[in-house]
Structure 1
Amino acid sequence: MSDTEVRAVVAERAARAGAAVANERFRDGVDVERKGRDDVVTEADRAAQRTVIAEIRESFPDDAVVGEEEDERKTVPETGAAWVIDPIDGTHNYVRDIRVWCTAVAAVVDGEPVAAAVVAPALGDAYTADADGAYRNGERMTVSGVRDPRRGVVDPTLWWDHDSRDEYARACEAIVEGFGDMRRLGAAQVVLPTVAAGGLEGTISNLRANPWDSVAGVFMVRQAGGKATDLDGNRWRHDSTGLVVSNGHLHDEVLAAARAIEELD
């Protein structure tokens, strides 16, 4: 196998291992700690991250690791190989016994993802992406073919702090005025594969996404035929401001909704 193919295998293996650890503790009375007013963490997050890293280290002991918890680095290096991991994306759902959460792993080389896996064990879904495409439970997936905004469903993803609720309100308003319906799943790395699989036509935020909340899922969307940009319509990167993702057919409309959050022309 090529190096990229090996990374795809390891990404899936590591995501499945981390998700299994988290799932063992799901709905089991896990203690919840606060990292800030609006952010929570559990020992399940930390245990799952350690498991993911251990799986990666077996095959790539010298690669950089970008992870949400503990002392892992928080930025994606522009050169060399790295792994971007979120042990539990959707922790607020997790601690409320809601099934919409996942473990996400992306392999990155020179700042660009080359493979990814998102495993949502409570939902029974495992999403993967490699150089050849994107898959849900082993079946190739593609973005939806919807071209009429009135049939489109869009998710306002990421999370706006309490002092930015006006932006959250504008995001919701732009979606309900411009599209057929709105969903808010509460876990970006579940939302993004759902766009890739055709369940949503887009997702928007004006915020700068943490790499662990975005890199794996954006890669899946692109490999499934979709599009991801920043607020200016430029190709999205791990350090971009704004996250605008669509099935491609409705990208102009989704971008306009994202720009409305900050009342941009």
Structure 2
Amino acid sequence: MGLPDVTFLHKLADAADKETLDRFRGAEDLQVNSKPKEGFRFDPVTLADREAEKAMRALIEQRYPNHAIMGEEYDTKPGADENAFRWVLDPVDGTRPFLCGLPVWGTLIGLLQHERAVMGMMSQPFTGERFYTDSAQSWAKGLYGTVPLQTRRAISLDQAILHTTSPESVKQSSLNFSALDKATLMTRYGGECYAMAMLAAGKIDICVEFALQPYDIVALIPLIEQAGGVVTTPDGGRAEAGGAVIASGCPRLHQQILSILNS
């Protein structure tokens, strides 16, 4: 069996959107809890997270019962598929901005085959946008129609836009983020998964994250790669396992960026 049709990713996103959108900026009790996370005093999980993941898991188990499933909120379901497919789900990536009413969160739907990210989608239902790959090309779909995504490649480092989500993570990391900050045009914070989508769209040039889980990045790797970018760990390896992750829109600059971060 080959890769699932991209329409199934949209079906999963539809199911998640029903659980997240009505609760975003809503009056419903979100049943907010905090999970332990090193270096953070508050790492929230809400009813929207739990219900959205539950809805997506149910659809996967119905359509692809032999596929493994890994998600943020529930235990990993082992698979029995000879093609070694594993879905990797983050129902609300960016729960902090979700709680703050800021529309930079999204639902991440990724698919691994033999531990390599091959398909992915980020759904942002409040803005009505989806960023996804069909395994050959990355696309954005929204009020502007459906358009191909292309990273910005003809750029020098001193004109590049740098992004990271949390200043807290910068303080805890051994990577030389301050040197990269000084070498680039400007640095922005707080964009969560939406910033990665904007890298694929050619609006941001570098995203540096310091402590990701697989469900934070698997969906975004093929989205960026199929748009012309590159995603690696600080040593240049594959990033599916998470940890510190660097995404660049311009592959020509990537090694230079890694050298600065590791300096």
TM range (shorter): 0.7 to 0.9
Is the deviation greater in 113-122 or in 247-256? 247-256
**Distance across 2 between alignment mates of 1:72 and 1:157:** 26
Counting only pairs closer than 5 Å after superposition, residues 111-190 of structure 1 correspond to structure 2 as 111-137=115-141, 138-157=146-165, 160=168, 165-167=171-173, 171=177, 173-187=178-192, 189-190=193-194
Cα displacement (A) at 1:131? 2.0
Q: Which residue of 2 aligns with 1:31?
A: 31
Q: Which residue of 2 aligns with 1:262?
A: none
- Is the CA contact 2:217–2:242 (under 8 Å) kept in the aligned structure 1? no
**Distance across 2 between alignment mates of 1:177 and 1:32:** 38
1:109 aligns with 2:113: yes
> Unaligned 5+ residue runs, structure 1?
260-264
Cα displacement (A) at 1:211? 0.8
Cα displacement (A) at 1:186? 4.0
Q: Which residue of 2 aligns with 1:62?
A: 66
Please give the secondary structure, in 1, of the residue aligned with 2:173: helix
Q: 1:113 to 1:230 in 2, by over 3 A?
A: same
- Is the CA contact 1:228–1:244 (under 8 Å) kept in the aligned structure 2? yes
Q: 1:169 to 1:255 in 2, by over 3 A?
A: closer
User: Which structure: greater helix fraction?
Assistant: 1
Cα deviation code 1:56-94 (max 9, x no counterpart): 2231122111000033359xx997111000000000000
**Distance across 1 between alignment mates of 2:209 and 2:98:** 22
- Is the CA contact 1:19–1:87 (under 8 Å) kept in the aligned structure 2? no
**Distance across 1 between alignment mates of 2:65 and 2:167:** 33
> Unaligned 5+ residue runs, structure 2?
none
- Is the CA contact 2:175–2:261 (under 8 Å) kept in the aligned structure 1? no
- Is the CA contact 1:201–1:250 (under 8 Å) kept in the aligned structure 2? no
**Distance across 1 between alignment mates of 2:136 and 2:179:** 35
Q: Look up the equivalent residue of 1:211 and give its one-letter code.
A: P
Cα displacement (A) at 1:140? 0.9
**Distance across 1 between alignment mates of 2:123 and 2:261:** 27
Cα displacement (A) at 1:254? 2.5
User: Which of residues 38, 45, 53 is equivalent to 1:41?
Assistant: 45
**Distance across 1 between alignment mates of 2:14 and 2:167:** 26
Is the deviation greater in 243-252 or in 37-46? 243-252
**Distance across 2 between alignment mates of 1:170 and 1:114:** 30
Q: 1:43 to 1:128 in 2, by over 3 A?
A: same
User: Which of residues 192, 195, 220 is equivalent to 2:196?
Assistant: 192
Please give the secondary structure, in 1, of the residue aligned with 2:56: helix
User: Which of residues 211, 222, 228 is equivalent to 2:214?
Assistant: 211
Q: 1:257 to 1:206 in 2, by over 3 A?
A: farther
TM-score (structure 1 length as normaliser): 0.85
Is the deviation greater in 250-259 or in 17-26? 250-259
**Distance across 2 between alignment mates of 1:5 and 1:179:** 39
Cα displacement (A) at 1:206? 4.0
- Is the CA contact 1:12–1:128 (under 8 Å) kept in the aligned structure 2? no
- Sequence identity percentage: 24
- Is the CA contact 1:133–1:140 (under 8 Å) kept in the aligned structure 2? yes
Q: Which residue of 2 aligns with 1:220?
A: 223
Cα displacement (A) at 1:109? 1.3
1:4 aligns with 2:3: yes
- Is the CA contact 1:175–1:181 (under 8 Å) kept in the aligned structure 2? no
Q: 1:10 to 1:157 in 2, by over 3 A?
A: same
Q: Look up the equivalent residue of 1:31 and give its one-letter code.
A: Q
Q: Which residue of 2 aligns with 1:19?
A: 17
